[in-house]
Structure 1
Amino acid sequence: MKHHRTLSIAAAAATLAALSACTSDAGGERVGRCAIADEFAAGTPVDTTPSGEITFQTTALKASFSEYFTELIEEFEAAYPGTTVTWEDDPGDGSFATRLVADAQACSLADVVNMPLATAGGLREQGFLADLDAASPGIGDDFIPSLWDSLVLPGDDHHYMLPWYWGLIGLQTYNTELMQRAGLDPEQPPTTFEELFDAADQVAERSNGEFSAFSASLGLRLPLEWQLQEAEVIADDGSAFVFADDQAVQEWTERMTRLALAGGIPKDSIASDDEPTALFTQGAAVWGSPNASSLRYVQEGNPGVYEHVGVSSLLDRRGTAIAEVQTIGVPSTSTNPATAIAFARFLLAAEQQSRFISDPRIQNFPSTTESLDIPKLTDITGTAPIDEANRLAVDLADEAEIVTIVQWSDAVANAVNAELQLALTGKKPPREALQAAQDAANRVIGADAR
């Protein structure tokens, strides 16, 4: 189960913003040219009996979890006679957000949608997601409090997305054989980003181009790696991005640039948003994904590499982890609010989440407090890399800091990454690229450039 940082096309995001401001003479509240459901427009609880048809869209889950979702839908339809749920699964690739924008523009979003938090934040800002606190009071009561509290936009204490599964960012997964070939000690992995870059520089120097330190994967690294270093990414009031003035961010950008120009990062990964797991699975990179869930793909894709996987605790000066969250949203344009909300609650109920997360292929955490007590998370006895990663992740989960920069939308990520790519390819000095990235990000959120 992968976590995807998806990039949107800036023009599409601008079009979405323009459409959301449109009005119509057709009557009723609208977002763009799409009608908002009367039940959601009223801002009161949706208390009608669920019935009729809805669509449910997941992201890159059908290939591995068809049996689970087929049974879940059958159980829901049995519990609510007269309902029908049609399941769709998006591949979750780099154009996912663009497709979702197109669906929003066409008034054809699914009734219940699984999406990364950044994508959900963008849809919420344009008015395409329903206020779930108003529509279904108490809907957040069973969720982990810190996780639930993290899903609000600045200046708004209501929730427009629900937390589903989540993973910790900051674990190290590394190829011990490649570390030794680069003259590094796999028994002494880096513990800070400074140490990581020092080791990566040595990989670039000694690998003779046969393997790399890691994939660039800017869309997956940022802003999380800055947050892990306690960098000030955005002003306290959320009004503007300020990361270009932060020393940790400056050092990170300079070290990434130096590494890329020295050949420690594959050139074709600089402008790509692919998961680092693919390169790692090929045995072509020392470091892989910081998420434990990636190891299942390594195990299945290349058992030879999996035998040499090492795992250690996170690269984090604070000693606490940051979580990345997958969410569930109900579009404000749904034509069947009652059934959509009922299904979202059914999907995320503790009973269903415990069953889902108990699958041995999943290395993520559930979003309900009750589901954290399942044996899989409390009794880990194996010694394989996945087991080691899970043990570390469970230990860190107790202290996980759910830090969400909701302004870091797909459009912001696209703008920032475009500028930093210029630095990593030697086309612009790191500090200049960083300032340009901040200015571009602030233009996206309508803040004055600083």
Structure 2
Amino acid sequence: MLKNGANYSVQTGSEYEPIGEESRPLLASQGVQARGASFWSSAFNLMNAIMGSGILGLSYAMANTGIIGFSILLLVVSSLAAYSVHLLLLLCDKTGVNSYEALGERAFNRPGKIVVACTILIQNIGAMSTYLFILKSEMPAAVTGFMSTETSGKWFEDGVALLILVTLIVVLPLALLPKIGFLGYTSSLAFFFMLFFTVVVMVKKWSIPCPLPVNATVNLSAYAVPTMAFSFLCHTAVLPIYCELHRPTKQRMQNVANVSIFLSFVVYLISALFGYLTFYTHVDSELLKGYDTYLPRDVVVISVRLAILLAVLLTVPLIHFPARKAVLMLCRGDREFSWLSHVLSCFFILTFVLLLAIFVPDIRNVFGVVGSTTSTCLLFVYPGMFYLRISSEPVRSLSSAGAVLLMVIGLFVGVLSLCVIIVSWVQGP
């Protein structure tokens, strides 16, 4: 177990043994990073896991809930996300396990481990496929936007060709890295791309003489809360980042999570606010599309579109890490690190995800169902359920009440969003 703020543990067979600083060389030989990732490297990785293309839809959520309603909901969801991370770290500290799957095993034996691993795998494959689908759809327009003359029939206008190219050149080398801490540099770059997007949205608010009327009507959208919940999902990456953190204590990792969630909250709120104040209730579900009407071929808008695509691209390897870990745990159990298994699982996952992004015509709706179930389970339901199952706290304690609240909210949001998606399918566009 974690003790005295300096030790951490690994699982050996069915026992959980405390590991101190003197055992770092042994851990390094077993594939565990000796020095550990820095605080800010870990924070950037977690922020990259939190923020993705979902930032484009938050202005639309604000248009449906109002500024005050959106701000309150965003604060509540971010606070619940931080609290569920707190429960995961508390359980990790209490039991000595170092993975989400191992917590499932500790709570419900092997079936719990398999269910959690499958949930992580489905969630992350869905997220990666959606991100690659976005890249396939948006990259040709982003690239040709920089061309001064009209182009036709060029290879870079083919979204599939561009997608395969960037997957081989960017995603594959980063996904092959054995440790998630190595992605800290690319994660910091992705975060600054998000900051660039936020600054551009703020600036363009004052440069667009938007003729659209202000509509102060507040309409609570059933999509708003699920969108916010999915925008703060980072829990599959929390424990891998925790394991590789330098001086890995619960409080230090909680500080990493708090900083990451707070900075993500600020970026989300500012970008959503200024995007909404630019277009009001006429804001598009994908914010950048609105700028195409008023600022066609604007270099700054084209640049920020490309920056968002690059941020999404750099998020894929980070999401790939927990998915690969789940595959290896399902196939190999808790065996020692093997480069052969590592490489084969990496190629299998990326190939499968790439084929989904290329051949499934409307992947967003398909994985919307997956997201409404697996995302809410990982964000709300599992942390609360595992805490109630593992913790020795009385049922009427404050922590147990918080765990119950997480479960109730997760079930409500998941069922609601799934019903909304099904109804939208039935009603049509």
Tell me if both proteins adopt one fold, taking TM over 0.5 as the criterion.
no
Which structure dedicates a bigger proportion of its chain to strand?
A: 1
Alignment TM-score, normalising by the size of structure 1: 0.25
Which structure dedicates a bigger proportion of its chain to helix?
A: 2
Task: Pick 1 or 2: higher relative contact order, CA cutoff 8 A, min separation 6.
Answer: 2
Alignment TM-score, normalising by the size of structure 2: 0.26
